[in-house]
């Protein structure tokens, strides 16, 4: 009897285990709840340091975000604002807000997508359904501040917490919270004139999504006015499922006119704008604006059109005198950053620069005199995360210990000869959010094996609390699939001239070294991006799915990609689609050298620049690839915007040969006409970033040349083809297209 009981228990265990383990599906990857576990977005530490707030999607709808808090003393987590209860009716976003969210890569999200703390830590400001709400902790109530027919955007509380500024109908408005009085600081915003907004290239390419800045004393606002009258109008056909709208979008094509910019300062209560003298040159960029602590001096970064010169200028608003604190120059281009920090207790500032080949940190006084280079070496800082002036510490993230990882370090800048101290312990990726005084910070950690975990730390790195441990236990959404999760292997290969290229690989499920497998190559390949990272990325689950379908999954970071220093990036200057393609071919050679890879079954997939790379790779080397899938690709750099394209390619007039060589349309003749190299081209039909024209021109050329191809277009979809339904469909289509490589 005892023997039979043990046998029965064993059978039950086997049956339970079998039932629990499930194959990963694309439908489940994009369904709710998220397989990565609860996600904390926009994590912020309250000014008083007593709680941490964040946005979280609903368990049944991961794209509908609510406002939550974690209270440190009690260790409890609770919802502060339920977005559906506060605003149950769906309201169509304004075109301005749609475009802004697309630029921020949050177009698929609903509910509360951003918020801000008041300086006293007693209230929060957020926008919902086009109106502004003010939530006070003392009573737990959210008060609607606006209820106009117009759509408010980019709201910001004043530093004293008594007013809120926002943009309405292309004008800058201030609302006094105690009286409810609205003051229109500008009234000339209409037509092509915009006040307080960020122009298209600022949002898309400069990582600047605002056009105004409160002074520290809350008495003034600096703002940018832009006039897009000179920008060429392109008629973009916004194709929806049952309608077509002709959108006259002013798109700044490379080599064509940009917006005209003005920088001014206006009093909080209104009045005449004090316009600043930005110089005689009219064709320039204003990527950054920042107040000095005294509120009487304003800094701005002036960038030349060719992006080979960047000046940090300071204006004394009382005397109107200006001075250039420092100037950066480059023979190729200058990468922008957010690392400027004016110290409050000393007349000094921190700045980062790539002048020695890698981004490092420098200390200056407020006259522009360099006092010290604080960091150095063949590694790069990613961002200044915070400054503790009382202790003399600067905190920054960097790849000092591993190119494929990001860690938090601190350095005692007052000592000047100190070495960086690493604070993050675990191998992987650490995204940091610090409080104003850099006394505590939130660490969002992940690796290729661990979905994001969120913890609170004091300034020396000691963990104070788990905000989201997100353990992969039996209750985790990924529990049913984790046993099939394949490890990622990292490696390095060398180019013929000795440059190290990092790559990663996921081997198929039930890998057998004696078999030959097809390869799924994921590529991005463009500047300001790195694919080979030890983190839990948005692509990871789809790559796991492809590995479980029997593919070797492979990615390589070619020259031109980020976090390896300027010498690694610069080779693509004036010749996009050249060195990157060559390096990816080296990756193919490496794959073909592996005994378990079928050399005749290597396919490539990429999105955006990755779509461009896919097209350029399979068209220039059709013998190397068995198929290609390109989503939202640029095909002709003359159809892309000024700030991005000219940074790397100069203008079409200056670099006609580079534009010809980098044009996908000039390589289509190499595509076999019989369809033996299957090519799938996917594009959103309302894409306002990489215009759909890029793909329609490619369609026409392939048709004229009698070349067979496959296409998939998404009505109403923009560049990201956002939303769980659309994402499920596009990834199912990609996976099915790759099935033709299986035997």
Q: What is the Cα gyration radius of the chain?
A: 27
Supply the residues annotated as catalytic: 608, 687, 719
Question: Given pLDDT bands bounded at 50, 70 and 90, which one contains residue 17?
Answer: very low
Across residues 691-710, what is the average pLDDT?
A: 96
pLDDT at 20: 59
Give the distance from CA 368 to its chain's centroid.
31
Q: What percent of the chain has pLDDT over 90?
A: 88
- Give yes or no for residue 145 having a pLDDT over 50: yes
- CATH architecture assignment, domain 36-151: 6 Propeller (2.120)
Q: In terms of pLDDT, which residue wins out, 13 or 663? A: 663
Query: Which of these ranges, 197-211, 414-428, 550-564, 654-668, has the smallest mean pLDDT?
Result: 414-428
Query: Which of these ranges, 229-238, 661-670, 682-691, has the smallest mean pLDDT?
Result: 229-238
Place of tokens 């080949």: 357
Across residues 171-180, what is the average pLDDT?
A: 96
pLDDT at 1: 45
Contacts of 704 (CB under 8 A, 6+ apart): none
Place of tokens 């979809």: 717
Q: In terms of pLDDT, which residue wins out, 249 or 656? A: 656
Q: Which of 99, 92, 63 lies closest to 687, judged by CA?
A: 99
Report how far apart, in Å, the C-alpha atoms of 33 and of each of 76, 82, 168, 478, 551 are: 21, 17, 36, 10, 27
- Give yes or no for residue 441 having a pLDDT over 80: yes
Question: Given pLDDT bands bounded at 50, 70 and 90, which one contains residue 18?
Answer: very low
**What is the three-class DSSP state of 204?**
helix
Q: What percent of the chain has pLDDT over 70?
A: 97
Across residues 245-254, what is the average pLDDT?
A: 91
CB of 401 closer than 8 Å to CB of 407: yes
CA distance 370 to 352: 12
Strands (E), 72-181: 76-81, 110-111, 115-117, 123-128, 131-136, 141-144, 153-157, 163-168, 171-176
The three-point CA angle 174-175-177 to 5° equals 140
Question: Given pLDDT bands bounded at 50, 70 and 90, which one contains residue 417?
Answer: confident
Taking the CA atoms of residue 553, residue 557, residue 561 and residue 566 in that order, the dihedral angle to the nearest 10 degrees is 160
CA distance 707 to 679: 10
Give the distance from CA 422 to its chain's centroid.
25
pLDDT at 12: 44
CB of 265 closer than 8 Å to CB of 273: yes
Question: Given pLDDT bands bounded at 50, 70 and 90, which one contains residue 482?
Answer: very high
- Other beta carbons within 10 angstroms of residue 172's beta carbon come to 27
CA distance 216 to 204: 27
Contacts of 38 (CB under 8 A, 6+ apart): 56, 468, 470
- CATH architecture assignment, domain 488-741: 3-Layer(aba) Sandwich (3.40)
**Eight-state DSSP code of residue 592:** H
Alpha helices in 149-237 (DSSP H): 200-205
CA distance 518 to 512: 13
- Give yes or no for residue 508 having a pLDDT over 70: yes
Question: Given pLDDT bands bounded at 50, 70 and 90, which one contains residue 51?
Answer: very high
**Which region holds residue 613: left if phi is over 0, alpha if psi is between -120 and 50, else beta?**
alpha
Across residues 40-45, what is the average pLDDT?
A: 95
Annotation: CATH topology of 355-447+450-484: Neuraminidase (2.120.10)
pLDDT at 528: 93
186-205 residue pLDDT tens: 999 999 999 999 999 999 99
Exposed, middle or buried by CB within 10 Å (0-12, 13-18, 19+), for 158? buried
The sign of the dihedral angle between the CA atoms of 170, 176, 180, 183 is negative
Asked if the domains 36-151 and 355-447+450-484 are classified in one and the same CATH topology, the answer is yes
CA distance 51 to 28: 33
Give the distance from CA 486 to its chain's centroid.
26
Residue 381's φ and ψ, nearest 5 degrees, are: -80, 145
pLDDT at 10: 47
Across residues 651-668, what is the average pLDDT?
A: 98
- SS in 3 state form for 565-585? CHHHHHHHCCCCCCHHHHHHH
605-624 residue pLDDT tens: 999 999 999 999 999 999 99
Exposed, middle or buried by CB within 10 Å (0-12, 13-18, 19+), for 3? exposed
Across residues 228-250, what is the average pLDDT?
A: 86
* Summary mean pLDDT of the chain: 94
Segments making up each domain of the chain, as ranges: 36-151, 161-336, 355-447+450-484, 488-741
CA distance 526 to 608: 9
Contacts of 427 (CB under 8 A, 6+ apart): 402, 405, 447, 534
pLDDT at 13: 44
pLDDT at 360: 98
Annotation: CATH topology of 161-336: Methanol Dehydrogenase; Chain A (2.140.10)
């Amino acid at each position: 009897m005892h023997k039979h009981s043990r046998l029965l228990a064993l059978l039950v265990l086997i049956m339970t285990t079998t039932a629990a383990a499930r194959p990963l599906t694309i439908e489940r990857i994009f369904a709710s709840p998220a397989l990565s576990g609860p996600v904390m977005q926009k994590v912020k530490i309250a000014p008083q340091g007593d709680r941490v707030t964040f946005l979280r999607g609903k368990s049944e709808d991961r794209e509908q975000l609510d406002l939550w808090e974690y209270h440190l003393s009690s260790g409890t987590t609770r919802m502060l604002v339920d977005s559906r209860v506060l605003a149950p009716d769906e309201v169509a976003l304004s075109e301005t807000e749609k475009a802004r969210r697309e630029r921020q890569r949050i177009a698929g999200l609903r509910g509360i997508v951003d918020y801000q703390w008041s300086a006293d830590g007693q209230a929060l400001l957020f926008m919902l359904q086009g109106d502004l709400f003010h939530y006070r902790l003392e009573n737990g109530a959210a008060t609607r501040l606006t209820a106009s027919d117009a759509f408010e955007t980019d709201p910001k509380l004043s530093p004293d917490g008594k007013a809120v500024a926002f943009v309405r109908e292309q004008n800058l408005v201030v609302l006094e919270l105690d009286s409810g009085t609205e003051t229109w600081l500008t009234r000339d915003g209409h037509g092509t004139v915009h006040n307080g907004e960020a122009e298209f290239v600022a949002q898309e390419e400069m990582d600047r999504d605002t056009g105004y800045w409160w002074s520290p004393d809350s008495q003034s606002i600096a703002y940018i006015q832009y006039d897009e009258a000179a920008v060429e109008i392109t008629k973009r056909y916004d194709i929806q499922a049952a309608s077509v709208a002709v959108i006259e979008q002013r798109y700044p094509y490379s080599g064509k006119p940009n917006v005209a910019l003005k920088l001014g300062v206006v009093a909080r209560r209104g009045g005449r704008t004090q316009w600043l003298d930005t110089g005689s040159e009219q064709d320039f960029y204003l990527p950054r604006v920042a107040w000095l602590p005294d509120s009487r001096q304003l800094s701005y970064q002036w960038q030349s059109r060719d992006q080979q010169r960047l000046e940090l200028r300071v204006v004394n608003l009382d005397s109107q005198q200006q001075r250039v604190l420092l100037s950066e120059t480059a023979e190729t281009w200058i990468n922008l950053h957010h690392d400027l920090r004016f110290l409050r207790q000393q007349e000094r500032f921190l700045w980062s620069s790539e002048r020695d080949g890698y981004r490092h940190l420098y200390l200056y006084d407020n006259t522009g005199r360099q006092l010290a280079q604080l960091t150095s070496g063949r590694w790069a800082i990613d961002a200044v995360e915070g400054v503790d002036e009382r202790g003399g510490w600067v905190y920054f993230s960097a790849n000092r210990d591993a190119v494929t990882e990001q860690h938090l370090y601190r350095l005692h800048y007052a000592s000047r000869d100190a070495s960086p101290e690493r604070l993050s312990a675990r191998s992987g990726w650490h995204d940091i959010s610090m409080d104003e005084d850099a006394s505590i910070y939130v660490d969002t950690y992940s690796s290729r094996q661990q979905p994001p975990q969120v913890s609170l730390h004091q300034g020396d790195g000691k963990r104070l609390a788990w905000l989201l441990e997100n353990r992969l236990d039996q209750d985790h959404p990924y529990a049913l699939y984790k046993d099939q999760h394949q490890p990622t292997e990292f490696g390095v290969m060398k180019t013929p001239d000795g440059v190290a290229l990092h790559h990663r690989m996921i081997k198929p499920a039930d890998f057998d070294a004696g078999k030959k497998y097809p390869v799924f190559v994921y590529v991005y390949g463009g500047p300001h991006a790195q694919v080979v990272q030890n983190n839990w990325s948005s692509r990871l689950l789809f790559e796991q799915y492809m590995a479980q379908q029997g593919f070797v999954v492979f990615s390589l970071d070619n020259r031109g990609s980020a976090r390896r220093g300027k010498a690694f990036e610069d080779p693509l200057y004036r010749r996009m689609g050249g060195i990157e393609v060559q390096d990816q071919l080296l990756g193919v050679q490496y794959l073909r050298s592996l005994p378990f890879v079928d050399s005749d079954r290597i396919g490539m997939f990429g999105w955006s620049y990755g779509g461009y790379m896919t097209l350029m790779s399979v068209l220039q080397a059709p013998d190397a690839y068995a198929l290609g899938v390109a989503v939202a690709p640029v095909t002709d750099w003359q159809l892309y915007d000024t700030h991005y394209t000219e940074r790397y390619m100069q203008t079409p007039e200056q670099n006609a040969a580079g534009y010809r060589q980098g044009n996908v349309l000039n390589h289509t003749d190499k595509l076999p006409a019989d369809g033996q190299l299957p090519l799938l081209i996917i594009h959103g039909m309302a894409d306002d970033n990489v215009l759909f024209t890029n793909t329609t021109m490619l369609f026409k050329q392939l048709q004229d040349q009698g070349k067979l191809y496959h296409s998939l277009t998404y009505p109403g979809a923009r560049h990201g083809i956002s939303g769980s339904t659309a994402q499920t469909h596009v990834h199912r289509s990609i996976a099915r297209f790759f099935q033709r490589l299986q035997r």
